[in-house]
Structure formats: structure tokens, C-alpha cells
Amino acid sequence: MQATIARHALDRVPLSIIFDDSTLLVNLNYFFMRDRNPIDGQNRRWEDVPVIHPESFTREFAEWCLEHGVRGKFSVVPCPAALGRIDQGLPMFSRAQQESWLKMCRELIVPAFDITPEMITHTFVVDLQTLQPIDPQLWEQWDWNNLPVDREELVTDYIALACQILANVDLPPQGVTSPGGFGNPIDFYAKVVGHAVRNVTGNSTPYFFKRVSGSGPVETPVWYPDREAGTAVGEIIASTGDWTGSWTGYGEVSVDKYITSDLAGGRLPAVIDAGDPAVLISHWQGFYGLHNDDRRGFNAFKTVVRRLKERDPHGERTQWRKCSEITNYACAREMAEITVEGHKIHLDLPVRVPDLTLRLTDVHVQGVSVDGKPLTRAAFRGDAFYREGDVTFAAFDPVGRRTTVEIRV
């Protein structure tokens, strides 16, 4: 008998969507372009984009995602464009407006999306005491593209403060998102992310988002796995470009680049058929567009979701997942040790995740029990096993680090 851990939970390719540049009410990009144009000598259309993204739109989006089972990651920039800390109040909004948005976020966005900071401001590098810009020309995504590795404590504290501000408004982050190019060298970045997020939340397997793989294979790297401590840092890599309005809010929109109407073309079918995580990337300003009747990105995404559903109507091949669910599973799989003795499988699991899925070959399985508890033989779901040709899959939620799976033949 051969036993391995399936690459994905329930042997279903994960679908997920990443939202960058989102935050409380503010359209970060209005201030981003306004403040960056003089530095770059550019003439980006900052006066054409809205100053805010209304709560009503965000609420409608969140309710739609819950209705259609969409999952992913949603950034909340803690001190957008250095305008103010969201845990202390942005001066351009009333306390009631901000509390209403935060309540909506906790109730409607958090159930379907991980919350992450996109570092502190997504614009200026700020002083950690005052949260004022150190230098108007020192920016997180350009000047901290290469992090000051000789100041590890400062970088760790910087990321930790971004996380702490979110925790202060009851939005504890599951990981962090890079603003632009922030975060090289990547091994250093992974290390400080692990320390920073754990210091704030205690999460043993936080993750970060930085890279995009627009062609070819898509991995889910695991950084600094420590079996004794049960800790690691996951990395989520997006597998598409942004064709939902992009970071400007008025960029390209193309459903077909994700998935064509015949359900065969576009980036997503190729990724799914390769068995890689199908992680879309979007920017919140593109979803909203230039005004409330625009919604170019949101409307395109609705079509993408409908086509993905048509391609897998019964959810037998794919499943929407939060980014943390994808990275946590990768950490658990990477760190697990498996020993097979006869018809028993002994698992040592420093990290435990729901729907851990075993892939069994060279055995005719009639029954499966986990720590003495039998699994149901059924259409594949949690706490069940399922035979597909010569392969049997068994999924369960492990309780203890050491778990024994017994196979009846």
C-alpha cells in the first residue's frame, strides 16, 4: 500500500481571488496617484477617480460572494496613504461611518476572505511613532522593494504594527500583502513576516502575498518549516494577471483572458487542468471603476464565476478557498511524516488542517477508520473516503499530532 497526502484538500483544485489596495472607505488610489505623480513626473488621472468606495458597494459585493461561495483575500490598508490609522479614525469620515464599515467587514467579508494589511500606508514609509512620512520620496513599494536587511528589527516592527492596527479593530490578519514590489530578498521577507504576524496574532503558519505567475506552473511555497515548533510561513502566488480594471481603476477588463465562453481557453482552465491553485488577482479600485454605475471589474468577475461554475457544475474538480486555507494545507503537507505498517498509516502532523486528504494506491479499500473512528463511504467530502478507479481518497480533520489511519481490505 502506498499512502501520500493529496496536493489539495478533498483533491479539488482551489479557486481563490486576491483583492489588493482595499481599505476602509477610502479609494487609496486617488491619493496614491496624486502624491506619486510629482515624484515620477507622470500625469496619472487621479482627479478622474473617486475619492471613496462607498460601504453600500462593498456590502453588495460581500453579500454576492457569500451567496456564490467565492473565497479569497481582502486587504485592509491600516493607515491608507498616511491619512490616519483606521483604529484611531480617519479625519475625513465620522466615527459612525467608520464603525459601520468595520462592522460590515467583520460580518460579511471575514467569513469569505482573509484580511491582511498591505503594509502600513501602501504609499510612504512612515515613522513608527508618529506614522508620518519619513521622507515624501521614500515609498514602501519602491524604496523598500529591497528591504533594509541590516535593520531586521525595524522591518519586523514595521510589519507587526500594520498587523496590530488591524487586530485593534477586530480584524486579526492571517498574513500580509506586499504593496507593489515591497519585500526583497524574499527569504528575508518570509522570515520577518513569520515573526511579525506571530508576535501579534500567535498564528503558527501565517502567509504572505507578493508574486504573480502569469504563465506556467503555480506553486505554494513553504518557508522556514520547523517540525519541532510546528511553525512555517506559507506563500500564496497569484496565477493570473489582473484583467478587472487593474490598479488604476480604469485599466483593461477581459473575461476571456481568465476563461473563454467555450470554457476551454484563457489562463484559468490551463491552471486548473494542471492541478495548480487557480488564484486570481484583482485591485479593489478596478472592481468599483470610476463611479457606482461603472463596476467594470465586479461585472467581469461575475461572468468569470459563472463560467467556472459551468465548467465544474457539481464542484467535483474545484473548490473556492481562502488563501490561508491553501497555504495552511501546503504547510501541513510539507511538514507531515507518514509511516505505513501493513494496513495502518501512522501520521505525525506538526500542523493540522481540516479535510486533510490521503491518496491511497496499491490497495483495494473497503473501509477506513481514523483513530478508531470509521469514515463514511460517500461522494467525496470531509470525514469520508471515495474510490476513483485504482485510487482511494480519504479526508478527515486530524485532532492530534499523531494520528493512525487503519485500512480495511
* 111 lies in the same domain as 83: yes
Alpha-carbon gap, residue 327 to 281, rounded angstroms: 16
Distance CA 233, CA 194 (A): 6
**Domain end point (choices 290, 307, 326):** 326
104 shares a domain with 57? yes
358 shares its domain with 311: no
199 lies in some domain = yes
Same domain, yes or no: 73 and 105: yes
d(CA 154, CA 133): 15
User: Model's pTM, two decimal places?
Assistant: 0.97
Residue 346 and residue 281 share a domain? no
Residues 322 and 352 in one domain: no
**Residue 277 and residue 348 in one domain:** no
The domain boundary residue, chosen from 306, 326, 346: 326
* Domain match, 95 and 219 both: yes
User: Phi first, then psi: what are they for 116, rounded to 5°?
Assistant: -135, 150
Task: State whether 105 and 223 are in the same domain.
Answer: yes
Within a domain: 51? yes
The residue with cell 479600485 is 285
Last residue of a domain, one of 326, 358, 388: 326
Question: Does residue 37 form part of some domain?
Answer: yes
Residues 6+ apart with CB under 8 A from 10: 319, 355, 357, 380, 381, 382, 393, 395
The CATH number linked to 188 is 3.20.20.370
For residues 61 and 110, the answer to whether their CB atoms sit within 8 Å is no
For residue 300, give its domain range: 8-326
Domain match, 44 and 167 both:
yes
Tell me, yes or no, whether 120 and 186 share the same domain: yes
Look at residue 384 and tell me if it is in a domain: yes
Best CA proximity match to 142, nearest among 114, 166, 121: 121
- In this prediction, residue 208 carries a pLDDT of 98
DSSP letter string over 158-192? HHHHHHHHHHHTT---SEEE-STT--BSHHHHHHH
CA 353 → CA 39, 316, 382, 391, 397, distances in Å? 46, 20, 12, 22, 7
Same domain for 262 and 183? Answer: yes
Q: Helix, strand or coil for residue 73?
A: strand
- Quick check: 127 and 161 in contact, CB under 8 A? no
Residue-level pLDDT at 379 = 73
In the chain, the number of structural domains is: 2
Give the CATH number, domain containing residue 392: 2.60.40.1180
3 domain-assigned? no
Domain-embedded: residue 316: yes
Q: Whole-angstrom Cα distance, residue 318 to residue 141?
A: 34
The predicted pLDDT at position 378 comes to: 80
List per-residue pLDDT tens for the chain, 409 residues long: 999 999 999 999 999 999 999 999 999 999 999 999 999 999 999 999 999 999 999 999 999 999 999 999 999 999 999 999 999 999 999 999 999 999 999 999 999 999 999 999 999 999 999 999 999 999 999 999 999 999 999 999 999 999 999 999 999 999 999 999 999 999 999 999 999 999 999 999 999 999 999 999 999 999 999 999 999 999 999 999 999 999 999 999 999 999 999 999 999 999 999 999 999 999 999 999 999 999 999 999 999 999 999 999 999 999 999 999 999 999 999 999 999 999 999 999 999 999 999 999 999 999 999 999 999 998 777 899 999 889 999 999 999 999 999 999 9
Query: Could you tell me if residue 22 is inside a domain?
Result: yes
